[in-house]
Amino acid sequence: MHWLLAFVIGVAACGGSASTTTSGQSPGATSGAIAGLARDQDSGDPVASAEILVRAQGQLEPLRTTSSKEGIYGFDHLASGRYTLTARYAGQPIEVVNIEVRAPELTVVDLVFTLGRVDPIRIDFTDPESSQIVRYKPKGLAPSIAAIEGTVSDTGTRDRIAGAVITLIGNDQTQNTVSDAHGRYRFETMPGVYTVTAYYSIGGQAQVEVRRSGIDAAGAEVVVVPMWIESGSKR
């Protein structure tokens, strides 16, 4: 199974509906890849046909693609180095700078458009503060259900962390899950106020735990809560 198919399956497992893509051979031992999900901030719906360009530092001509009907996009066979990604949909531009690609790894860069508002969005991929809590109301989520989802990432390398134990505490209940191969997690629960913790063991010796409290999740709402773990690693 090639890398982008695995990415699509991971998105679907965390509440997306992806099943296909427009790109996808495995990056070789000397090349890496960038892929992600484009969606609307308010509804959480995938954004299809967004124009996406990626350019390495010093590269004159960018690589181009468009997001699929499931909002998935991908670039493979990228040389190691720093990249800038620009995306545009319905007149709104998004620019993501300082994306570091390392062979043979996949770097996940999700794109969140604020449809109906054309203000430019600029994100520094090296800055954890660029990933704030956001909320959206997807179609089909019942008023009696609230969802909390997000990603677990390393503050030093910006890499997604697989295998972190995520705990959701609130409403007199505790739920646990494990971040998937792309660092994603998701809970479906009752509306209420919650605490999310992420626990990760480094090399079987050191343990790291982070906590975000006071997360208010309303009915028929998805709250996206990024979690950052400081492992001491650096790129």
Q: Are 92 and 120 in contact (CB under 8 A)?
A: yes
pLDDT tens per residue across span 73-96: 999 999 999 999 999 999 999 999
Domains of the chain: 3-126 (2.60.40.10), 134-229 (2.60.40.10)
pLDDT at 6 over 70: no
Q: Give the CA distances from residue 94 to residues 45, 47, 51, 111, 114, in Å, rounded to whole numbers and listed in that order.
A: 17, 13, 10, 8, 10
Distance of CA 68 to the CA centre of its chain: 16
**Those residues with Cβ within 8 angstroms of residue 6's Cβ, 6 or more apart along the chain or in another chain:** 181
Average pLDDT over residues 6-16: 51
Rounded to two decimals, the pTM is: 0.71
pLDDT tens per residue across span 97-110: 999 999 998 898 99
pLDDT attached to residue 234 = 67
pLDDT at 49 over 70: yes
DSSP SS3 for 137: coil
pLDDT attached to residue 118 = 84
Q: The dihedral of CA 213, 219, 223, 227: what is its sign?
A: positive
User: Which residue, chain included where needed, has tokens 């719906």?
Assistant: 45
Q: Are 200 and 228 in contact (CB under 8 A)?
A: no
